[in-house]
Structure 1
Amino acid sequence: MKKRILVTGGAGFIGSHLCQRLLNDGHEVICLDNYFTGNKANVIHLLDNPYFELIRHDVTHPFFIEVDEIYNLACPASPVHYQYNPIKTIKTSVMGAINMLGLAKRIKAKILQASTSEVYGDPIVHPQPESYWGNVNPIGQRSCYDEGKRCAETLFMDYRLQNDVKIKIIRIFNTYGPKMNPNDGRVVSNFIVQALKGEDITIFGDGTQTRSFQYVDDLVEGMIRMMNSRDDFWGPVNIGNPKEFTMLQLAELVIRLTGSTSRIVHMPLPQDDPTQRQPVIDLARKELNGWEPTVELEQGLKLTVDYFKNLLQQS
């Protein structure tokens, strides 16, 4: 059945992949973005599709439309961008959630919140199940993002309880792939761009801190399965790759795949940077038809390296 679907932050890295997939699945897609971190180039190839619509709008302001489903992805997600204007970041998470939940309430649409593994902070429990409440500094440099997303989850749960809005909450763990912003400060894009340019690869800390990297196609599949899951399951649910890698392992793999001569250098660890990040995905496997990541890190990195090679050649 063809649905009308609103994607906020739809011109961003993840949002643009989601828009493409929803169109491929036969739906009508309205993409909303203010282009703070999103990029029109990510979706320009979709503009010829009669079932795709692109609207410039900031979710901190109300928006009115008739749709069947809403994917709320709008918010800068990398430290470089969300720390650039921390007040704007927390307004995007909180006011954006209020505006989109208000819209969902009025038009009786189902709405999915793209939350984050950052709600777990620098975790004391490892790996992280959804039942863990987290270890977050409420007044640190990362708080605008971490606490903004935590507050958005609260709003989603309260709109469900008070107004019977059909909600879904996913917690996204580190995701990478084509269309990442080369200047977003995320570790995968940083390492690949530095390696392709032959620059030093900068690792913050001693490199033993870990992350779990999922390829963007696996995330999009998880998002869609969550939106289509049974009505009495609203989450939150972890969507991430349970395979854990150290920063040193990632840097060495990127150097090998790019054939780079880059050296690895170490820099001081930023405030509140998590030392471990790994999801427990038992709930996703159980509730989302056996969902789990299928793209191995080396396979996904090759596709991402190819994307950045082409991008750097064009610039």
Structure 2
Amino acid sequence: MTKYKLEYIWLDGYKPTPNLRGKTQIKEFDHFPSLEELPLWGFDGSSTEQAEGRSSDCVLKPVAVYPDPARKNGALVMCEVMMPDGVTPHPSNARATILDDEGAWFGFEQEYFFYKDGRPLGFPEHGYPAPQGPYYTGVGFKNVGDVAREIVEEHLELCLEAGINHEGINAEVAKGQWEFQIFGKGSKKAADEVWMARYLLLRLTEKYGVDIEFHCKPLGDTDWNGSGMHCNFSTKFMREVGGKDYFEALMAAFAKNLDDHIAVYGPDNHMRLTGKHETAPWNKFSYGVADRGASIRVPHSFIRNDYKGYLEDRRPNSQGDPYQIASQVLKTISEVPAKSAAAA
């Protein structure tokens, strides 16, 4: 038997954006534990905005497990938060009630800033560095510094070794800003892996003395870019049938549900979605072919393939909860009858 270090990871009850939490349990197994073998585990919800002190018990229910590449005999255990009965989802448990469909594919482009000493990594103590332009996909010390690439490369390796479907990295438009991409089939699977990748990045940067800033516009009303989490999505019908009539009906549904989307696409999005810096205004819906300034960017390949394939919603921001984002996208898609659209 081997003693395994099980890192139970969950989302707390802080609003408007939950924080990742984690604690370690040691259990003996004769092999890497399966999800079914992992026990429920309690925690003090009064310390995480999920219970009151006079009745503080909450329960962690494992929902996904990954190898922990940073620990010998380690496992990363993604959990839902349950009420003390271990059966009823806690009110803060967004994962338990979202729409899910294994035929729905999601690709999330997670942008973020490295921060050190209260400012983006590479910013001078006073003022700003040279204007945006050379930093996006940049190379060289003057563009990316001496530690950021080391961190993102190590994070990439950790994700791949954990079995997370990490699909790429690049330096972003602002200095100190980077992006990684996660792809998954099914709302829950894709979102689980985004949260786990975030967790691994936050844990990794502890040893570098660097913070991760997920706020969508950390530099406020300046000419420096904010951070998004563009959501690429498709369903089986979109990939295999599609059609112009269906696409136009889908865009009408997205326009009708604008307020519902903005409500879950991340806090403070009005600071980022201003109509400047390749963003659509938060209160106006638009779409366009290869248009980075539209709410939804339609790839050229989608049009060439008789309106089949994937679409990119550019409005979700870097703080967004991927569970809620994916669920809202699926909810809107479900309003468009695929069969009747195909018949039309």
Q: Who wins on radius of gyration, i.e. which is larger?
A: 2
* TM-score, normalised with respect to structure 2: 0.24
Normalising by structure 1, we get a TM-score of: 0.25
More helix per residue = 1
Question: Which structure has more strand as a fraction of its residues?
Answer: 2
